[in-house]
Structure 1
Amino acid sequence: MKKNIEVIIKKTTPHLGDVGEFTKVALGYAHNYLIPNKIVEIATPGKLKNAKMFKLIRDKKIEEIKLKAYGVKNHLESIQKISIKKKIGDHQQIFGSVTEKEIIEQILLYTGENIEKKQIQIPNIKEIGIYTMIITIIDQVTVTLKLQILPDNI
């Protein structure tokens, strides 16, 4: 009698793997826990073929997203720095703060790339000067840009 059975994972779990992957588990573990809790399903030849097809489609989409992200990264790296003018008070301190919205507008003006607010990490800016900000396009693709805060002479 078989001691292990091949299954297709339906829910991501740390000890088994991600959705759509195939793995072998103990027969009792599969029949008594994993299948009743809808974590896995038994891998039949038809289901294996279907899962492989979906994995191929998912991999192609991930590759397209990565290519697009690297294109955005190259476009953003063409900018040396972004300059924003702010009103200043005593001791070179600015009124208010620099927001992600202002940075997004400048990036859109310089490159035409639309960046979301959650992708930008900026330090706490209280005075004029040059700061470093990090833009995360996707998980492994980040861009570091200089942010220059200038006094507004109006």
Structure 2
Amino acid sequence: MIELLLKKDVPKLGKTGSYVKVKPGYARNYLIPQGLGVIATTENIRLVEIAKKRMLQQEALEKEQLKDVAKDLQKAACNIEVKANEDDTLFGSVTYDLIAAEYNKLGFNCVKADNLKLEDPDVYPIKSLGIFPIEITLHEDVVAKSKVWVVKEQESGE
């Protein structure tokens, strides 16, 4: 077994800066060539600690920026116009991809479909008109609550 110091997070192995013991072939053929780990020497430990501090500072800065975006998201409302029949039943449905695309049109490029979750999961996908509260996870510690307004598309003949 070889003791390595991880330079980056490796799923199912460890986080940046942690010491791991791995088989020599795994270290030599994958972790070291991919830049994921280095042999645990005092110099490498010092360099990884410096990189880890830099990464934590960068993450803290990004988190603060995302908190500002979350405040703006809570003020914003996403309006989605859809075709519906006389009974206000949608032709099709509103999915997370469509909601994310609408938020992106509003200038919130950090909103991704994978980070959306309706507060009432039983209504997904949305198949009716109405107002739907939604949670947008921007970071594991930053969650914004907003609303999606599903409204009937106005016909051009009116």
Q: Which runs of 5 or more structure 1 residues have no equivalent in the other structure?
A: 1-5, 24-29
Q: Which runs of 5 or more structure 2 residues have no equivalent in the other structure?
A: 32-36, 119-123
Largest Rg, 1 or 2? 1
Contact kept? 1:35, 1:41, Cα under 8 Å:
no
Structure having the higher strand fraction is 2
Cα separation, partners in 2 of 1:109 and 1:42, compared to 1, 3 Å: closer
1:129 is matched with 130
1:56 is matched with 53
Equivalent pairs: percent with the same residue? 22
**Whole-angstrom CA distance in 2 between matches of 1:153 and 1:55:** 54
**Whole-angstrom CA distance in 1 between matches of 2:25 and 2:153:** 66
**Whole-angstrom CA distance in 2 between matches of 1:73 and 1:61:** 18
Structure 1 residue runs of 4 or more that deviate by more than 6 Å after TM superposition: none
Q: What residue identity is the alignment partner of 1:78?
A: K
Higher mean alpha-carbon deviation, 123-132 vs 91-100, is at 91-100
User: SS of 1:85's equivalent?
Assistant: strand
Q: CA RMSD in A?
A: 3.1
Cα separation, partners in 2 of 1:41 and 1:132, compared to 1, 3 Å: same
* 1:85-96 equivalent positions in 2, closer than 5 A: 85-96=81-92
**Whole-angstrom CA distance in 1 between matches of 2:86 and 2:66:** 42
| 1:140 Cα deviation from its structure 2 partner | 2.6
Return the TM-score normalized by structure 1.
0.68
